Amino acid sequence: MSTVAIISSFADDTQCANAIEQLRAAQVGDFNTFSPIPSHRIERAIGRSKSPVRWIVLAGGILGVLAGLAITIGTTYEWRLNAGGKPLLSWPPFIVICFELMVLLGGIFGFLGVMMLSGVPTTEMEPGYDGRFGEDRFGIVVRCDEAEAARIELVLKESGAEEVVREGA
Amino acid sequence: MAAAPKISAEPSYRDIDRSVLRVMEPAGLAYWAWIGFCFTLVAIAAALWARQIYTGLGVTGLRQPVMWAIYITNFVFWVGIAHSGTLISAILFLFRTKWRTAVYRAAETMTIFAVATAGLFPLIHLGRVWFFYWLLPYPNERSLQPDFRSPLVWDAFAVSTYLTISALFWTMGLIPDIANAREAASGWRKKFYTVLAMGWQGTDRQWRHYSMAYLLMAGLATPLVLSVHSVVSWDFAMAINPGWHSTIFAPYFVAGAIFSGVAMVITLLIPMRRLLGIEDLLTEWHFDNLAKVVLLTSLVVSYAYITEAFMTWYAGDPIEQMTFHMRYFGPWGWMYWVMVLCNCVMPLLLFSPRIRVNLRALWIVTIFVNIGMWFERFVIIAGSLTANFEPSQWAGYRPSITEIMITVGSFAWFVGLFSLFSRFLPIISMTELKEGIVWLRKALKMDRATAA
Amino acid sequence: MSTHLQKAHRERGAMKPRAVESVVGTSTRAVAGAMIVLGATAFMLALSRGGAAIAWQAYLVNLLFFLGVAQGALVASASFYLTQAKWGGSTPYRLGEAFAPFLWVGFFLFFGLYFGRSLIFPWVTHPIAQKAAWLNTPFLFARDGIGLGVMAAASYAFIRVSRGADARAWTIATDDIQLPPHSIRVRAPLVAVLFAVVYTLIAFDLVMSLAPVWRSTLFGWYFFAGCFWSGLTAMALTAVVLRSRLGENNLFTNSTVLHDFGKMVFAFSVFWIYLLFAQYIVIWYGDLPVETFFVVQRVHHLPWSPLSAACLVLIWLIPFTVLMSVRAKKTPVILGTVAGLGLVGMWLERYVLVVPSLSLDAVPFGPTQFLISIGFLGAFLVSAMPGLNRVAQAATSGEPVGDDPE
Amino acid sequence: MREGLPISRRSFIKLAATAGAAAALPGCEPAARKLIPYVVPDENVVPGVPSFFATTCSECPAGCGAVARIREGRVIKLEGNPADPIGQGALCARGQAALQGLYNPDRLAHPQVRGDDGALRTVSWDEAEKMLGDRLAAASKAGKDRVAFFGSPQGPTFRKIALAFLGVYGSSRATFYEAINQEPARVAAKTLFGRRDLPIYRIDQAEALISFGADFLETWQSPVELARQYSLFRTPQKRRGALTIGRSTYVGPRLSMTASKCDDWIATAPGAQADVAWSVLNVLVKQRWISPNSGFDLAALSNAVANFDPAATSARTGVPVETITRLGETFGKADGALAIAGTDDSSAHLAAMILNAVTGNFGKTIMFLAGSPAEETSTPDEVDAAVDAMRGGEIDAAFIAGANPVFTMPVSARMAEALQKVPFVVWAGGVPDETAAMASLILPAHHPLEAWRDTAPRAGIRGLGQPVMQPVFDSKPVGDILLAAAGRSSSAKPPWATTAAAVKAEWLALASKADGAGPEDFWVNVRREGGLFEEQHLSALKLDTSPFKAPVPAAAQMELSVYAYPHIFLYDGRGADKPWLQELPEPVAQIVWDSWAEMHPETARKLGVAQDDVIEIKTEHGAIEAPVLVASTVRPGVIAVPLGQGHRAYGRYAKDVGTNAWLILAAGATCAGATARATGKTRRLVSPLGKSDMMGRSIVEAMSIEQLARGVIPKNEAEEVTGPFEMYTPWKYPGHKWGMTIDVNACTGCSACVTACYAENNIPWVGKEGVDNGRIMSWIRIERYFPEAKAAAQAPLLYLAPMLCQQCGHAPCEPVCPVFASYHTDEGLNGQIYNRCVGTRYCENNCPYKVRRFNWFVPEWPAPLNLQLNPDVTVRGAGVMEKCTFCVQRIQFGELNAKTEDRELRDGEIVTACQQACPTRAITFGDSNDPASAMMRRREDHELRNYRALEELNTQPAITYLRNLYREKGKA
Q: What is the pLDDT of residues D60-71, one digit of tens each?
A: 888 899 999 998
Residue range B64-98, pLDDT digits in tens: 899 999 999 999 999 999 988 888 888 888 877 88
Nearest CA-CA distance, residue D958 and chain C, Å: 17
Output helix, strand, coil percentages for chain B, rounded to the nearest 5. Answer: 75, 0, 25
Q: How far is B137 from chain D (nearest CA, A)?
A: 10
Asked if D810 is an interface residue toward chain B (Cβ–Cβ < 8 A), one would say: no
Strands D781-785, D671-673: parallel, antiparallel or unpaired by DSSP? unpaired
Domain around B68: 13-451
D729·A87 Cβ contact <8 A = yes
Q: Cα–Cα distance between B220 and C156 in angstroms, integer?
A: 38
Band (pLDDT 50/70/90 cuts) for residue C187 is very high
Q: Note whether A63 and A40 are same-domain residues.
A: no
Q: Quick one: which of D336, D295, D296, D362 has its CA closest to D210? A: D336
User: In this predicted structure, what is the pLDDT of residue D5?
Assistant: 39
- Report yes or no: B441 at the C interface, CB cutoff 8 Å: no
Q: Do B247 and C278 touch (CB under 8 A)?
A: yes
Average pLDDT of the residues in D227-248:
92
**Residue C221 in 3-state DSSP?**
helix
CB-CB under 8 Å, C218 with B248: yes
Q: Which chains touch D (3 or more CB pairs under 8 A)?
A: A, B, C
CB contacts of D720 in chain C (<8 Å) are: 213
Average pLDDT over residues C291-296: 92
C373 or C1, higher pLDDT: C373
Q: What is the pLDDT of residue D517?
A: 67
pLDDT for residue D524: 87
Q: Measured between CB atoms, does B251 come within 8 Å of chain D?
A: no
Contact (CB<8Å) A110/B143:
no
pLDDT at residue A1 is higher than 60: no
d(CA D892, CA D17): 9
Asked if B64 and D856 count as a contact pair (C-beta separation under 8 A), the reply is no
Shortest Cα–Cα distance, C287 to chain A (Å): 9
Q: Residue C72 in 3-state DSSP?
A: helix
Chain C residues with CB under 8 Å of D723 CB are 293, 296-297, 301, 360
Are A108 and A59 in the same domain?
yes
What is the full DSSP assignment across D257-314? HHHHTSSEEEE--TT-HHHHHHHHHHHHHHHT-S-GGG---HHHHHHHTGGG-HHHHH
Please name which of D544, D477, D549, D562 lies closest in space to residue D154, comparing C-alpha atoms: D477
Whether D545 shows a pLDDT value over 80: the answer reads no
Within an 8 Å CB–CB cutoff, is residue A40 touching chain C?
A: yes
Whether pLDDT at D216 is above 70: yes
Q: Within this chain, do residues A60 and A102 fall inside the same structural domain, yes or no?
A: yes
Q: Kindly state whether D196 is in contact with chain B, defined as any CB-CB distance less than 8 angstroms.
A: no
**Residue range D382-398, pLDDT digits in tens:** 999 999 999 999 999 99
pLDDT, tens digit (0-9, with 9 covering 90-100), for B163-190: 999 999 999 989 998 988 888 888 888 8
Which of these, D375, D749, D765, lies nearest to D579 by C-alpha position? D765
Q: What is the pLDDT of residue D248?
A: 95
Q: Which residue of C has its CA nearest to A38?
A: C405
Q: How far apart are CA D369 and CA C257, in angstroms?
A: 105
- Which of the two residues, D73 and D821, has the higher pLDDT score? D821
Query: What does the radius of gyration of chain D's CA atoms come to, in whole angstroms?
Result: 28
Which of A76, A92, A117 is the C-terminal boundary of a domain? A117
Which residue did the predictor score with more confidence, A14 or B449? A14
Are A7 and A44 within one domain? yes
D719–C301: do the CB atoms touch at under 8 Å? no
C296–D726 CB contact, under 8 Å: yes
Of D4, D8, D814, nearest to A83 by CB-CB distance is: D814
pLDDT above 80 (res D4): no
DSSP D718-744: PPPPPS----SPPPP--S--EEEEEET
Is residue B199 one of the residues assigned to a domain?
yes
Determine, yes or no, domain membership for B256. Answer: yes
pLDDT at D41: 53
Find the mean pLDDT for residues D238-258: 92
CATH number at residue B190: 1.20.1630.10
Q: How far is CA A156 from CA A39, A129, A141, D895, D926, in A?
A: 19, 17, 10, 93, 95
One domain, residues A96 and A112 = yes
Instruction: Identify the pLDDT of residue D410.
Output: 86
How confident is the model at residue D789, as a pLDDT? 77
Q: Is residue A73 part of a domain?
A: yes
Q: How far apart are CA C222 and CA C278, in angstroms?
A: 9
A28 and A71 co-located in one domain: no
* Of D284, D279, D261, residue with least CA distance to D331: D284
Q: B144 touching A, CB under 8 A?
A: yes
Averaged pLDDT for residues D399-418: 89
For residue B8, tell me if it sits in a domain.
Answer: no
Optimal mutation site among D717, D721, D954, interface C, most CBs of chain C within 10 A = D721
Distance, in Å, from the CA atom of D968 to the CA atom of C198, rounded to the nearest integer, reads: 51
Give domain status of residue A122, yes or no: no
At residue B387, what are phi and psi to the nearest 5 degrees?
-125, 90
- The residue of chain B nearest to residue C84, with distances taken between CA atoms, is B97
Task: Say what percent of chain D tops pLDDT 90.
Answer: 65
* Model confidence band, residue D27 (pLDDT cutoffs 50, 70, 90): very low
Considering chain A, what is the average pLDDT of its residues?
A: 86
CA dihedral D665, D669, D675, D676 (to 10 degrees): 70
Which of B339-343, C319-323, C400-404, D782-786 has the least mean pLDDT? Answer: C400-404
Q: How confident is the model at residue D35 (pLDDT cuts 50, 70, 90)?
A: very low
Q: Give the confidence band of C15 by pLDDT, cuts at 50, 70, 90.
A: very low
Question: CB distance from D950 to chain C under 8 Å?
Answer: no
Q: What pLDDT does residue C1 have? A: 40
The per-residue pLDDT for range A60-84, each reduced to its tens digit, is 999 999 999 999 999 998 888 999 9
Q: Which amino acid is at A90?
A: S
For residue A78, list chain B residues with Cβ-Cβ distance below 8 A. Answer: 143, 145
Predicted pLDDT at A6:
86
Q: How far apart are CA D17 and CA D890, in angstroms?
A: 11
If you average pLDDT over residues B44-67, what whole number do you get? 94
Chain B residues lying within 8 Å of C221, measured CB to CB:
248, 251, 303, 307
Least confident of B268-282, D694-708, D852-866, D875-889: B268-282
Position C127 scores a pLDDT of 85
Q: How far apart are CA C72 and CA C232, in angstroms?
A: 7
Q: Which residue of C has its CA nearest to D813?
A: C286
- Domain coverage including residue A29: 3-50+127-168
Q: Omega before A121 cis (within 30°)? A: yes
- Tell me: do A33 and A58 sit in the same domain: no
Relative orientation angle of helices B249-275 and C257-286, to the nearest 10 degrees: 120
Q: What is the pLDDT of residue C87?
A: 82
DSSP β-bridge partners for residue D533: D461
- Whether B2 shows a pLDDT value over 50: the answer reads no
pLDDT for residue C119 is more than 60 = yes
Q: Is residue B370 part of a domain?
A: yes
Instruction: For residue B7, tell me if it sits in a domain.
Output: no
State whether residue B208 sits within 8 Å of chain A by CB.
yes
**Which pLDDT belongs to residue C17?**
44
pLDDT for A22 equals 84
Q: Between the CA atoms of D560, D566, D570 and D572, what dihedral angle is there, to the nearest 10 degrees?
A: 110
Domain-located, residue A156: yes
Report the pLDDT averaged over residues B417-443: 86
User: Do A78 and A108 fall into the same domain?
Assistant: yes
> Are A84 and A133 in a shared domain?
no
Distance between A74 CA and the closest CA of chain D, angstroms: 14
Do the chains contact at D4 and A88, CB–CB below 8 Å?
A: no
Look at residue D211 in the predicted model and tell me its pLDDT: 95
From the candidates B308, B314, B352, which should be mutated to test the interface with C, based on the most C CB atoms within 10 A?
Answer: B314
D816: nearest CB among B132, B239, B385: B239
Whether residue D31 has pLDDT greater than 50? no
Element (H, E) at B211: helix B204-237
pLDDT at B40 (0 to 100): 96
Measured in angstroms, the CA of B368 and the nearest CA of chain C are apart by: 23
Is the CB of residue C284 less than 8 Å away from at least one CB of chain A? Answer: yes
Question: In this structure, is residue B3 part of a structural domain?
Answer: no
Task: List, as ranges, residues 675-734 from D with C-beta within 8 Å of A.
Answer: 728-731
Please report which residue ranges of D722-798 form alpha helices under DSSP H.
752-760, 767-772
- CB-nearest to C274 from B226, B238, B303 is B226
What SS3 class is residue D498?
coil
State whether residue C320 sits within 8 Å of chain A by CB. no
Contacts of C196 in chain B (CB under 8 A): 303
At D15 the pLDDT is 40
D779 contact residues in B (CB cutoff 8 A): none
Could you tell me if B8 lies within 8 Å of chain A, comparing CB atoms?
no
Q: Quickly state the pLDDT bin for C370 (edges 50, 70, 90).
A: very high
pLDDT at D40: 52
Alpha carbon of residue C92 to chain centroid: 15
B23 lies in some domain: yes
Tell me the residues of C at the B interface, defined by beta carbons under 8 Å apart: 83, 130-131, 134, 175-177, 193, 196-197, 200, 204, 215-221, 270, 274-275, 278-279, 281-283, 285-288, 290, 405-406
Q: Residue C24: pLDDT above 70?
A: no
Instruction: Give the mutation candidate from C135, C288, C297, C361 for the D interface (greatest D CB count, under 10 A).
Output: C288
| pLDDT on residue D557 | 64
Scanning D565-702, the segments in alpha helix (DSSP H) are 579-582, 601-607
b/e per residue D216-248 (b: at least 16 CB within 10 A): bbbbbbbbbbbbbbbbbbbbbeeeeeeebbbbb
Strand order in the sheet with D923-927: D923-927, D738-743, D959-962, D946-947
Do C69 and C342 form a contact (C-beta atoms < 8 A)? Answer: no
**pLDDT-derived band at D28, boundaries 50, 70, 90:** very low
pLDDT of the residue at D681:
94
Query: From CA A4, how far away is CA C321, in angstroms rounded?
Result: 50
Chain A residues with CB under 8 Å of C280 CB are 92
The answer on A95 and A63 residing in a single domain is yes
- Compute the distance between CA of residue D74 and CA of residue C339 in angstroms, rounded to an integer: 79
For residue B432, is it within any domain?
yes
Mean pLDDT of chain C: 87
Under 8 Å CB-to-CB from D263, ≥6 apart: which residues? D247, D248, D249, D966, D967
pLDDT computed for residue D555 by the predictor: 63
Give the total number of structural domains in chain B.
Answer: 1
Measured between alpha carbons, how far is D594 from D665 in angstroms, rounded to an integer? 19
Q: Is C280 within 8 Å of A40 when comparing Cβ atoms?
A: no
Residues D753/D744, Cβ–Cβ less than 8 Å:
no
Shared domain for A60 and A112, answered yes or no, is yes
Q: What is the pTM of this model?
A: 0.92
CB of D818 within 8 Å of any CB in chain B? Answer: yes
What CATH number does the domain containing A13 carry?
Answer: 3.30.70.260
Distances in whole angstroms, Cα of residue D237 to Cα of each of D242, D332, D334, D695: 8, 20, 15, 31
Q: What are the beta bridge partners of residue D296? A: none
Of B245, B250, B442, the CB nearest to C286: B245
Mean pLDDT, residues C193-202:
95
